[in-house]
Amino acid sequence: MLSYRHAFHAGNFADLIKHVVLVEILEHLVRKATPFEYIDTHAGAGLYDLHSAAALKLREYAGGIGRLQPQDYPEMARYFEVIQAFNAADELAFYPGSPAIAGYFLRPQDRAWLFELHPRDYELLRANLAGNRRMKVQCQDGFEGLQALLPPTSRRGLVLIDPSYEVKSDYDLVVDRLLAACRKFSHGIYALWYPVVERRRIDELETRIARSGIRNVQRFELGVAPDSAARGMTAAGMLVVNPPWKLLEKMAGLLPRLAPALAEEGGGSYKCEVLAGE
């Protein structure tokens, strides 16, 4: 059983880039009345108490969501709206994970499938989403569960793939599973999150995807420190297959502002580009 618990890292800069992109995609999907399905391969606990012992141990949220003031980023208004929905006025006590963010957008006609293998986080996820019948929670390996759900019955869908990469083989596995998923559901939207701990691994991951034949892939990355294999995660990013048509424009305006705001001394970088054309 893996030991990774996201509660220690909730609300950090890596969550921020992941969830800003996620909100943009979900906003795009709900613009049409037709239903869609959301699949989260590594759902976590869904909602995180920033006053808990786990969150306070590293206080990573202080270098992420804690550094931003909503009034300074009007282009992120919907993201802050979602965060506020889980907090009292003028207080940041809870940070929603991707399942809670998706749940905020789901309409009666939409469905979500959430996978979490860690037994404690699975129970927390069930508790945090109790009463939401549109969201099905399973204690199962999300990589295995994903294939059985594709293509979704609605023929519209978003798949979020965001393992912890605690096991180094995940860097290869995420590409394998992404390619397999695209073969079954080629027009779905896929959002693949990655951490930059060793830049070489990310370069290899991106090269495999770029050469795979998958079309219409964009990359968004936010860095807070110079790349260094000796210091842990220095950047994080999202690779999006079949992105909404305005996503690149939106992120091209936002990332140059977020990078210096969240940077540590000597850091601050971003990438916003087309990895594979349509």
| Whole-number Å distance between alpha carbons of 227 and 231 | 8
Query: Contact, 49 vs 55, CB < 8 A?
Result: yes
What DSSP element (H or E) covers 273? strand 269-276
DSSP 255: H
| Whole-number Å distance between alpha carbons of 266 and 230 | 15
Say whether 72 is catalytic: no
Q: Please report, in angstroms and rounded to a whole number, the separation of the first and last CA atoms in the chain.
A: 40
Exactly one of 49, 162, 170, 176 is catalytic; which is it?
162
Q: How deeply is 99 buried, as exposed, middle or buried, from its count of CB atoms within 10 A (0-12, 13-18, 19+)?
A: buried
Supply the residues annotated as catalytic.
162
